[in-house]
Amino acid sequence: MTIRLLRTLVAVADHKTFTAAAEAVHVSHAAVSQQMQSLEADLGLTLFNRTTRTPELTPVAHEVVARARLLLADYDNLVPSVLADGGLSGVLKLGALGTTLTGLTPQAVAIFKGRFPAVGLHIRPALTGASLAEIERGNLDAALITKPHLMPTGIVFRPLAEEPMHLIAACEEPEDDPLTLLRTRPYIRFNRNAVLGTLIDNWIQSRRIRVSETMELDSPEAIASMVYANLGVSIVPDLTVKPLESAPVKQLALGPDGPTRVLGLAYPEDQIKTRAVDELFRSFETVIARAQADGRATPA
């Protein structure tokens, strides 16, 4: 039995349905169901009457919820006594996608550090999967990631921006149809081990396009440099926050059915550095809002 399971139980009691509770605690409906089954097994009690259309709390479950509220209140009061400032001192360990390291992340960190200079930020570049694994191990407090198809249980994801993919080609390339370019030009693949790479690959396969892969990279800047040298074409995210400098390339939209990634901040559900993570999230939001207001068109 964990604090996380008790918090989910209380959410079910408050919101009446698994679906509403899932939204409240930032997990999927299936995760809530799994957590409640685990809690029943841990306690050796039946907490829900599942013969009704919507599972209802049993009488003993109402008693457990009442005790759980007291335990959660004690826990929530204990954390501030240990970290009275919510984590706004010491070190915050942040994972960050390589695609954000020359635009979004440094600008957000500058805002955060300007407001909270006492917080040390350790930034670890990593792909989404690696960052999520490090969060689960307790080695990262938060990570800027691409939302995967399934989020691990116990990790919250807060979306920041949607970034559509676009095709990039050398400026002197006369062809403007992205599908023709993918079929007829050398293709520079985004790292297939990244969530982003999988999104792109799935879209290419859904369009039944056969590409002639020439290389595989995991940095949009490196890919843009290769494309600028007329070594092939590629699909990369249209970054919400552009890097300060990048190679000039032609950018072509993939249309309404093109792949889009959701960029956001992930962190443990039972995060104790809550204030620090919230303030970091706001710093990312500020940078993204400024970039969207500016409407920059700098190549990614």
DSSP 94: E
pLDDT value of residue 298: 43
3-state DSSP helix/strand/coil percent for the chain, to nearest 5?
45, 20, 35
Alpha-helix residue ranges (DSSP H) falling in the chain: 3-15, 18-25, 29-43, 59-82, 104-115, 128-137, 178-184, 195-206, 220-228, 274-294
> Tell me, what amino acid is at 183?
R
Compute the average pLDDT of residues 119-143.
Answer: 92
Give the model confidence (pLDDT) of 46-81 as tens digits: 999 888 878 889 999 999 999 998 888 777 666 555
Its pTM stands at: 0.69
What structural domains and CATH numbers belong to the chain?
3-82 (1.10.10.10), 90-161+262-294 (3.40.190.10), 163-261 (3.40.190.10)
Helix or strand (DSSP H, E) at 165: strand 155-169
Q: Are 26 and 156 spatial neighbours (Cβ–Cβ below 8 Å)?
A: yes
Give the model confidence (pLDDT) of 287-300 as tens digits: 999 998 887 444 44
Buried/exposed code over 259-297 (b: 16+ C-beta within 10 A; e: otherwise)? bebbbbbbbbbebbbbbbbbbbbebbbebbeebeeeeee
Among residues of the chain, what percentage have pLDDT more than 70? 94
Give the model confidence (pLDDT) of 85-104 as tens digits: 556 778 899 999 988 998 99
State how far the Cα of 81 lies from the Cα of 269, in Å rounded to an integer: 19
Compute the average pLDDT of residues 258-282.
Answer: 90
Q: Are 165 and 192 spatial neighbours (Cβ–Cβ below 8 Å)?
A: no
Cβ atoms within 10 Å of 95's Cβ, excluding its own: 27
Q: Is 75 helix (H, G, I), strand (E, B) or coil?
A: helix
Q: Are 9 and 67 spatial neighbours (Cβ–Cβ below 8 Å)?
A: no
Q: Are 243 and 221 spatial neighbours (Cβ–Cβ below 8 Å)?
A: yes
pLDDT value of residue 158: 95
For 167, the token pair is 């095709």
pLDDT value of residue 296: 46
Q: What is the mean pLDDT of the chain?
A: 89
pLDDT value of residue 23: 84
pLDDT value of residue 297: 42
The residue ranking higher by pLDDT, 151 or 72, is: 151
Burial-class residue 41 by CB neighbours within 10 Å (0-12, 13-18, 19+). exposed
State how far the Cα of 55 lies from the Cα of 49, in Å rounded to an integer: 5
Judge whether residue 83 has pLDDT over 60.
no
Compute the average pLDDT of residues 9-25.
Answer: 88
